[in-house]
Amino acid sequence: MKHFVVLVNKNNRRVGVEEKIKAHKEGKLHRAFSVFVFNSNWELLLQQRARNKYHSAGLWSNTVCSHPEPNETYMQAVHRRLKEEMGFDCRVKRLFCFTYKVNFDNGLIENEYDCVFVGKFDGEPKLNKREVMNYKWIPFKKVINDVKLNPNKYSVWFKIVLKKMNLSQIKKVLR
Domains of the chain: 4-173 (3.90.79.10)
Bridge partners, 115 (sequence order): 33, 97
What is the H or E stretch that residue 148 is in? Answer: helix 140-149
Q: What is the pTM of this model?
A: 0.96
Question: Is residue 112 flagged as an active site residue?
Answer: yes
The residue from 18, 65, 90, 115 that is catalytic is 65
Q: Are 29 and 99 in contact (CB under 8 A)?
A: yes
The DSSP H or E segment spanning 8 is strand 4-8
Q: Is the dihedral of CA 70, 109, 127, 167 positive or negative?
A: negative
DSSP H/E element including 145? helix 140-149
- 11 DSSP assignment: T
- pLDDT digits (tens), the chain, 175 positions: 789 999 999 999 999 999 999 999 999 999 999 999 999 999 999 999 998 887 788 999 999 999 999 999 999 999 999 999 999 999 999 999 999 999 998 899 999 999 999 999 999 999 999 999 999 999 999 999 999 999 999 999 999 999 999 999 999 999 8
Which entry of 90, 110, 112, 115 is annotated as an active-site residue? 112
